[in-house]
């Protein structure tokens, strides 16, 4: 049977590149470790030949040769370090943009980016060199055996003891460090979530309570991390003391062999240096075990999150969509929770149709629009844009043809024009047109710098109404074929609401498809079709002219329009 290759993912390819770089580093490590023997060979020759023969010329030539070898060693060390730095840069270049875009696409926090930094730091740090030098330990121990078997027994016993200490260190710290990482990651997520709601937290005096809540998670993580560090430090201290004891032991055994005239003083000194060099990577690995475990956990999380799905294959470009949208038996919900919040959604909209959606809170309205935009994938059924499964559209191709105003409007550091143009190439004419359509043109001109005014992170230097108008302009930029507005007038006054109504009329006349989530009858009255969502299902769907009077009567009776009762949905296809 033919072998099937594992799916190629960006993470797998980046790790393959890193392994190739490490192989080149290991090639240089071969010569570096050979040259590391210079001092021991030099000492052996000085003690056994130069001092015995009292030959100054031999001493000079040996010294010059040793100096040349050590100069070459320094040069190769520099080359090896530069290779690691460049390997880390290539590794980051292959993954950082992918991880960032996937983090945004899946609505995740920044843990993956921190994991990438941790893994890159380990791959380009000193601890990886210890692992690359570790395979040389048997060779060094073999050289000690060549010098004298008894000295080799001492060195081998020390290596076994240090290796056992390393295993013990791993067993004592692995689980604790994993728990610490989980708690600290949770505290980081909590801090990120809280920062997005800083104004409300400060306004309502919630800061002390939330600080205490964050502190408990953070302190628990630090406590576990400290416990693991204490355990690792104690093992590292024992390993260091053990290595010094081994140095004393091999010198003592060597001296005894010299007294017994079984070896020479040069052999004793050379054996001590060679054994120290052979055991150094093991001791370094024990000292850096915490970094190794952190890198391993980061690798595992990245592999699970970004290394399982094959890279997106280039798709054949499709014609620009006209805005025809259809739901065919769709059920879905938040992908992380794997919870179905809407089900049995079936309807169709032709280009130029404006659909108003209303319903109680948590009925599934925002879930419906996320499914319509392809942000979330259905757990059942299919959403089609111009007859094509919206999941099959290349997001870079279809994105310019979609406009979206979410409930929580986020603006990004840059100019007003950059934000309206979605941080692509700014078309001044389209930027102004979109701003006028959103009723934001006059407001923007009043800002210092106008369209070139800088927006701070999250739009902190703008009011809620200003952010909403710029968000509307961003959704209208280029007059997309499909526009979804989630509560577009929540921060606007009567003038702003009238501007949105005019924009809806203009876009509908231009053949654009609109979906507007709202609760105000004044805004819903400007739609062609009306849908009421209740308990994740379509409770009512039909012409606005037929359903709106029922909603209006209930408003007069003091009942919110979102609480309209379930009525026969009629034909659910327009």
Q: What is the reported pLDDT for 306?
A: 66
Tell me the three-class secondary structure of 364-421, residue by residue: CHHHHHHHHHCCCCCCEEEEEECCEEHHHCCHHHHHHHEEEECCCCCCCCEEHHHHHC
**Strand-pair partners of 330:** 345
CB 279 within 8 A of CB 137: yes
**Strand-pair partners of 486:** 517
- CA distance linking residue 496 with residue 498, whole number of Å: 5
Which token pair is 180? 């610490």
Torsion sign (Cα): 107, 109, 110, 111: negative
- For residue 54, is it left (φ>0), alpha (ψ between -120 and 50) or beta? left
- The DSSP element (H or E) to which 326 belongs, if any, is strand 325-332
pLDDT digits (tens, 9 = 90+) for 243-267: 788 888 888 888 898 888 888 888 8
Residues of the chain with pLDDT under 50: 1-7, 555-558, 560-562, 564-574
- CA distance linking residue 124 with residue 144, whole number of Å: 31
For residue 371, the Cα-to-chain-centroid distance in whole angstroms is 24
Burial class (CB in 10 A: 0-12, 13-18, 19+), 348: middle
Q: HSE (CB half, 13 Å, CA atoms) of 23?
A: 6
CA-based nearest residue to 97, from 311, 404, 373: 311
Angle at 250 between CA 246 and CA 255, to 5 degrees: 145
pLDDT digits (tens, 9 = 90+) for 13-57: 788 888 888 888 888 888 888 888 888 888 888 887 888 788 888
CB 566 within 8 A of CB 534: yes
Which token pair is 486? 């989630």
3-class secondary structure, 531: strand
CA-based nearest residue to 88, from 289, 284, 274, 295: 295
3-class secondary structure, 311: coil
Alpha-carbon distances, residue 234 vs 130, 237, 286 (angstroms): 20, 5, 10
- 303-342 CB burial, b ≥16 within 10 A, e <16: eebbbeeeeeeeeeeeeebbbbbbbeebbbbeeeeeebbb
Alpha-carbon distances, residue 172 vs 164, 166, 232, 435 (angstroms): 12, 10, 8, 61
Within 8 A by CB and 6+ apart from 171, the residues are none
- CA distance linking residue 16 with residue 29, whole number of Å: 19
The CATH architecture one would assign to domain 10-306 is: Up-down Bundle (1.20)
Burial class (CB in 10 A: 0-12, 13-18, 19+), 395: middle
CB 525 within 8 A of CB 549: no
Q: HSE (CB half, 13 Å, CA atoms) of 369?
A: 26
Q: What is the reported pLDDT for 201?
A: 60
Torsion sign (Cα): 378, 381, 384, 387: positive
Residue with tokens 């919206």: 390
CB 348 within 8 A of CB 326: yes
Was domain 325-563 assigned CATH 3.40.50.300? yes
Q: What is the reported pLDDT for 75?
A: 92
- CA distance linking residue 347 with residue 569, whole number of Å: 11
Q: What is the reported pLDDT for 194?
A: 67
Q: HSE (CB half, 13 Å, CA atoms) of 238?
A: 15
- CA distance linking residue 431 with residue 288, whole number of Å: 54
Residue with tokens 């030539």: 61
- CA distance linking residue 529 with residue 353, whole number of Å: 8
- CA distance linking residue 154 with residue 359, whole number of Å: 80
Q: Map out the domains of the chain as residue ranges.
A: 10-306, 325-563
Phi, psi (5° rounding) for residue 421? Answer: -85, 10
Q: What is the reported pLDDT for 288?
A: 66
- 23-51 CB burial, b ≥16 within 10 A, e <16: eebeebbeebbebbbbbbbbbbbbbbebe
CA-based nearest residue to 159, from 182, 134, 184, 195: 134
Pairing of strands 388-389, 402-405: unpaired
């Amino acid at each position: 049977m033919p072998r099937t290759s594992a799916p190629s993912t960006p993470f797998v390819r980046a790790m393959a590149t890193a392994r190739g770089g490490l192989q080149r580093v290991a090639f240089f490590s071969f010569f570096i470790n050979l040259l590391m023997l210079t001092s021991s060979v030099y000492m052996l020759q000085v003690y056994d030949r130069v001092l015995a023969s009292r030959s100054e010329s031999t001493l000079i030539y040996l010294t010059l040769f040793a100096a040349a070898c050590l100069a070459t060693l320094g040069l190769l060390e520099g080359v090896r370090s530069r290779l690691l730095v460049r390997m880390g840069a290539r590794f980051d270049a292959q993954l950082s943009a992918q991880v960032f875009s996937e983090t945004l696409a899946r609505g995740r926090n920044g843990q993956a980016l921190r994991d990438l930094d941790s893994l890159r730091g380990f791959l380009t740090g000193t601890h990886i060199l210890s692992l690359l030098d570790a395979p040389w330990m048997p060779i060094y121990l073999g050289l000690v055996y060549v010098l004298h078997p008894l000295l080799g027994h001492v060195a081998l016993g020390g290596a076994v003891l240090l290796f056992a200490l390393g295993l013990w260190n791993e067993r004592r710290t692995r689980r604790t460090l994993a728990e610490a990482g989980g708690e600290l990651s949770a505290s980081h997520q909590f801090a990120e979530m809280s920062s997005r709601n800083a104004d409300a937290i400060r306004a309502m005096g919630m800061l002390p309570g939330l600080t205490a809540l964050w502190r408990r998670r953070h302190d628990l993580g630090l406590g576990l991390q400290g416990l693991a560090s204490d355990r690792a430090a104690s093992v590292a201290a024992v390993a260091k003391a053990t290595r010094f004891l081994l140095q004393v032991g091999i010198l003592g055994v060597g001296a005894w062999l010299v007294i017994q005239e079984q070896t020479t003083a040069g052999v004793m000194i050379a054996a001590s240096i060679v054994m120290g060099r052979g055991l150094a990577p093991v001791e370094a690995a024990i000292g850096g075990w915490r970094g190794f475990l952190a890198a391993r956990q980061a690798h595992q999380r990245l592999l699970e999150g970004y290394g399982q799905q094959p890279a997106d294959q280039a798709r054949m470009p499709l014609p620009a969509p006209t805005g025809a949208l259809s739901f065919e038996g769709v059920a879905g919900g938040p992908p992380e929770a794997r919870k179905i919040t809407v089900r049995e959604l079936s309807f169709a909209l032709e280009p130029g149709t404006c659909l108003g959606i209303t319903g109680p809170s948590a009925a599934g309205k925002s879930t419906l629009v996320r499914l319509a935009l392809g942000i979330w994938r259905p757990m059942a059924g299919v959403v089609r844009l111009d007859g094509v499964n919206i999941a099959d559209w290349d997001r870079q191709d279809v994105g310019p043809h979609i406009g979206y105003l979410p409930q929580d409007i986020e603006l990004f550091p840059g100019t007003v024009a950059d934000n309206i143009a979605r941080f692509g190439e700014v078309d001044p004419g389209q930027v102004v047109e979109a701003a006028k359509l959103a009723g934001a043109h006059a407001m923007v001109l009043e800002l210092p710098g106008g369209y070139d005014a800088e927006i701070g992170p999250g739009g902190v230097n703008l009011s809620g109404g200003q952010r909403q108008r710029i968000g509307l302009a961003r959704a209208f930029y280029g007059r997309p074929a499909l526009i979804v507005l989630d509560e577009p007038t929540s921060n606007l006054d009567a003038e702003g609401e009238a501007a949105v109504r005019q924009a809806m009329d203009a876009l509908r006349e231009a053949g654009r498809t609109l979906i507007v989530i709202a609760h105000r009858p004044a805004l819903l009255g400007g739609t062609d079709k009306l849908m009421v969502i209740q308990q994740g299902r379509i409770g009512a769907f039909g012409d606005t002219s037929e359903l709106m009077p029922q909603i209006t009567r209930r408003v007069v009776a003091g009942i919110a329009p979102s609480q309209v009762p379930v009525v026969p949905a009629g034909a659910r296809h327009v």
